[in-house]
Structures are given as C-alpha cells and as structure tokens.
Amino acid sequence: MRAATASGSFGRLISWDTSMGRRAPAALDILRNRSLTILMLGHFTVDMYVGLLPVFYPFLINRFDLNLKTVGLVSLAYTGMASISQPFFGWVADRYGTRLTGLALLWTSITFATLGFASSFHVLLVLAAAAGLGSGAFHPFGAVNASAVIHAKQRNTAMSIYVTGGTVGVALGPMIGAIVFSLLGVHGTALMVIPGATIGIWVLFAMRSVAVKGRGRIRVRHLNPDFRTPIFLIAVIVLVMMLRSYTIVGLQAFIPSWYEELGYGAEFYGPLTTIYVLSSAAGAIGAGTLADRIGRRAVILWTLVLTIPAMLLFAQYPGPWGFVTGAAVGFLAASTAPLLLVMAQQLMLGRAGVASGLILGLGFIASAIGAPIFGALADAIGMQGAMRAQVLVILVSIAVAWFLPTERRVSEVTAAAELAPAGAGPLRTSGANAGE
C-alpha cells in the first residue's frame, strides 16, 4: 500500500518502491518477449567471442613467437574494426532495415573460427578484423530491433536486458575459452563456430516478421523536414558514454594485475573480476526498470553519485572486501549505457540505427583507448593511485551528465520532429524510432 502520510523526497521514494513492487510482473512480461530473448541470446553469443580473445593470447604467443605488445594487436584489430564500422552499419539499418541481424552473427562465428588456422600473424590480423566487422554490424542491428519489439514505456528495461546479454557473454567467454583451448589448443576456434552459427541462423529466421524495415532513399514520413538533430544533447550523451566506458573497462582490465601485485593468485582475482562484470549486468537491468518509472536522467545522475563512495572503498581497501565494493562499483557504473542508448535513439528520430552505431561505436573506442591510458597512469602513480583517480573521472561525468535531457525535454524534441495531424498523438515511424 502506498504510504500516503509520507512527504517530501522520502515520501516519493517510498511511493516509487511500493509502486515498483506492484508493477514487478510487467518487468517479468518483458522477459517473456520471445523476440527480445532471441536478440539477447544473440548479443550474448557475439560478445562471447570478445571474452575468448584474452584466453587465446597464450596460444598465439607460442605459435607466432609474439610478445604481449604485438599480441594485443589482435584485440585491437577485432575491437577497432567493430568500433569504427558501427556508425556505418547503423546507417545501413536505417536505410535498408535489420533483416540480416542473424547473418552478422553467422559471419562473426565463421571468421572467428578461422583464427586458429591463420598461416601468419598478418593473416591473423586480417581475419580478426573481419570477425570484428560482423560484431560491428550486429550491435546497431540488434539495438534497433531490441527497441522495436517492446512497448515504448518499457523500452529502457528492454534495452537493459538486451545489453546485459552481451555483458554476460563477455564475462563467461574466458571460462568457455579456457575449457575449449585447453582441450583442443589453437585449433579450438573451429569448435566455436557452432554456437554462433546456430544462434545466428535462429536469429535470421526468427526475426523475419519483426525486423525493422529500412526507409530506402525516401525521406521518413511524418518527420518535419526543418527539424535539426539536437547536436549538443547528442554530444553530451556520447561524452557520458565514453567517460563511463573508460572507467568500466579500465577496472576490468587491471583488477587482475593489481591483485597479482598485492600477492593474490588467479583463484582470487579471477572470480573477483567475474563478480565485477556480472554485477554490472544486474545493475543494467535494475537501472532500466527504475528509469521506466522515474526517468533516465535521474537514474544516471544518482548512479554516478553513488559510484564515488563505492569506488573510493574499492581502491582504498583491497582484499576480500573487494568482492563487496567491486560488486557495488560494477552494479552502479555499467547501469547507464542502455539508458543513454535509448535516449540517443529517441533524439535522432528516424535514424535510430545511426544513433545506436554512434553511441555503441564510440563507447567501444573509449574502451579501446582507455585501457592503455589507465595503464600509463598506473605506471606513473601506482595501481592503487590509478584506481583512486577514477573518482575524478566520475566527477567529470557528473558535470557532463547534468546537461542530459529530461524525459519531458526528449518528448519536446520528438514532438518538434514529427508532423502529426491536429489533435492526433505522435505518429510511429518505426518500432525503434517512436518517442515515448
């Protein structure tokens, strides 16, 4: 029962909590959405290949006589191609539709399977880039579809569930790779064609009836030709996404190195890193559900503020307590990405694919360049100092996030972009592009 006697912000908090309890079945209904579940499974699979790469490194070092610097080029080829190609594939999704989402996953699985059979290191880099191209296509295609298969009022939760599939794939990839490569060696990549090909074909056929159709060369109907995309708001969204990606990936990459310096073994920091990543998946779902009730901007700002004490405790008190504080950082830090993605899709009405490719692609780039910057900082001031310094990045993120648009502002931009008859509600241009 709603607490009618409560007042002020505390009263509103009680109202939110009790309201969320009554509406919990709605969130469960989202999980019963077959199309969204298939897309989440596809996202899990395509991002699992990213998680396989670090476990693959030792085998490549032995085969091609590489050092740590040169073997890192494999990851750069994969993630770099995935990053820079996403805006292009977003444009493809807007113009020609997303019917080939499953084909992108199928391509990734086939090209990744060839990595273990590369005849030279240069050929390996080309094949890794080709696999990254499939990942670059899947992400904007999948994000547009995930937004289209769910009701607009549940879109934040739906996108969070979709993104969580990828997060879990990255987290479990190393475990799967450890088993496969320990049994089959470098040629174990061939076995990894099975999950990607199977799920890719399933996505290809299952999404035929719900895939978003492209607009071709025709201007999107019902859109105001004089409307201009709010560049400042998009820039704010992109910058928040990049700042958060820097912190998230920096911690994920260097938690093992830090704890090894402290004298802990892999049996300790391996599970710690996994807990950190899986907590970020749980945080994304929680933030999406909450954002559907109180708004994205409020959730993003509060999670940023709460990340500060969690980050300070994680940096200051390493050891067993790191499982608690690390889980808190992961839970809070990664919760904003799906919300920013939906916000960008709504502001770029009629170009949801480009919005998805831009946000996800630049987030990938921030992740790629963030790790070496984090490492250089750790070399200069020590690993614990670099962990503490992330609080400064969070403070900058809060300052930038203050300029994010509210739900009302997003609705105003959407209304300005649409040409609706007098007395009519907003017109739906496509499943992914309709405003709330």
* pLDDT (0 to 100) of residue 366: 75
Give CA separation, 422 vs 415, 418, 426, 427, in Å.
12, 12, 10, 12
Tell me the DSSP string of 158-194. Answer: HHHHHHHHHHHHHHHHHHHHHHHHHHHGGGGGGGGHH
pTM of the model as a whole: 0.70
| pLDDT of 217 | 43
Q: Which of 206, 179, 228 is nearest to 48 (CA)?
A: 179
Which pLDDT does position 11 carry in this prediction?
38
* Pure H helices in 382-436: 383-401, 407-417
Task: Looking at 97-120, list the stretches that DSSP marks H as alpha helix, in order from N- to C-terminal side.
Answer: 101-113
pLDDT at 433: 39
Domains of the chain: 29-217 (1.20.1250.20), 219-419 (1.20.1250.20)
Distances (CA, A) of 59 to 54, 118, 175: 10, 12, 16
- Reading the block at residue 218, the tokens are 């025709």
Return the number of other C-beta atoms located less than 10 Å from residue 412's C-beta. 14
Please give the C-alpha separations between residue 343 and each of 173, 235, 262, 356, in angstroms, as whole numbers. 29, 12, 41, 10
For residue 208, which phi and psi values (nearest 5 degrees)?
-60, -40
Torsion (CA) 178, 183, 185, 190 in degrees, nearest 10 = -90
Q: Residue 211: what pLDDT?
A: 60
Give pLDDT, residue 212. Answer: 62
pLDDT of residue 392: 94
**pLDDT per residue as tens, the chain (436 positions):** 334 333 343 333 333 333 334 444 455 566 677 888 888 999 999 999 988 887 787 788 788 887 756 777 787 788 888 888 888 888 888 888 888 889 999 999 999 999 999 989 999 999 999 999 999 999 888 888 887 777 767 777 778 788 888 888 888 888 888 788 888 888 999 999 999 999 999 998 887 766 666 554 444 455 566 667 788 988 899 899 888 888 887 787 778 778 878 888 877 887 888 888 888 878 887 888 788 788 889 999 999 999 999 999 999 999 999 999 999 998 888 777 788 888 887 887 767 777 777 777 777 777 767 777 877 888 888 888 989 999 999 999 999 999 998 888 888 877 776 654 444 444 343 443 333 3
State how far the Cα of 55 lies from the Cα of 175, in Å rounded to an integer: 9
The predicted pLDDT at position 37 comes to: 87
